[in-house]
Structure formats: C-alpha cells, structure tokens
Amino acid sequence: MIKQIELRLVGGSAPSGEITLKDLSAISAALQELVTRLSRDAADAAGPGRSKQYVEEFAELRLGAIQQGSTVLQFSKGPTDKLDVEVPGLADADDRFWEVLTAISTDHRPDWVSELIAESAGKLTLAMRAAADTVVVASPSRGDIRIE
C-alpha cells in the first residue's frame, strides 16, 4: 500500500523550496480528490453519498513537509492510528493511482478510467503544470514518474 507520495516540482515560478499557496491548494485539492475517487471506485463505493468510513480514512492525505532542492512536497496517505494492513480493494486503488499518473505522463487515458476519475486527473494535471515545468512523482514502493 502506498503510504508516502513525493512531488518534486522543477522549474516553477516560485523560488526553490517554496510554492505559492494558490498552487499548493490546487495541487493538494486535486490530489486528494483523485485518490478519494480511485479509492471509492476500487471499494465499490463510487457515486453520490457518503462512502464507507474506512475508504475515506485510507484515502486521506496529509502534507508532511516541503523541502528545498527544487520544491519537494511530501504527502502521507492513510490513517495514522491503524495497523498497516492490506484492505481489500484499496491496494487496487494504489495500483490505479500509479497507472493514472503514468497515463498523465504519457498523455494516454486507460480504458477503465471513468469520467469522474478523468476529471480529477485533469485537475491534478492543470495544477501541477501551473506550479512547475516538470513534476517528478515518487513513492518508496514505486518507480518515479516524470510529468512534463
């Protein structure tokens, strides 16, 4: 399960190690929306209304740090007060999240992507492109994805 997500912003308008609040807000909101929609979809809780509590908990993102050396945003994913266990369906959401990021980098939409997920991916793409020329997304359990 993905527990850490790192976005390295290269070539943005803000000085190295900084990000405008407008860009941080847009990236954070779009990233959270995409992760939540993928988690709901994988757990068969897509659509209107409240989803299962555990889906919301495992999709929750927290900003842990902003580092210099280009601007690096470090997000943590999932609950902090639960055992690190695999929840059925949510591992699929992580795989699909990485597949969507790869699709953004190659500009190719996977067949399984719903309109809601495509909308969220589009918002994230616009937010990242507004903040930086290049974004490198990384996670300890995955290979890096370069989005230009």
For 82-119, write each residue's pLDDT tens digit.
Answer: 555 565 667 788 889 999 999 999 999 999 999 999 99
Q: Has this prediction a pTM greater than 0.85?
A: yes
Task: Name every residue whose Cβ is closer than 8 Å to that of residue 45 and which is 6 or more positions away in sequence.
Answer: 51, 52, 55
Residue-wise pLDDT for 11-46, tens only, equals: 988 888 899 999 999 999 999 999 999 988 887 755
How far is the CA of 6 from the CAs of 32, 55, 64, 104, 146, in angstroms? 14, 21, 10, 16, 12
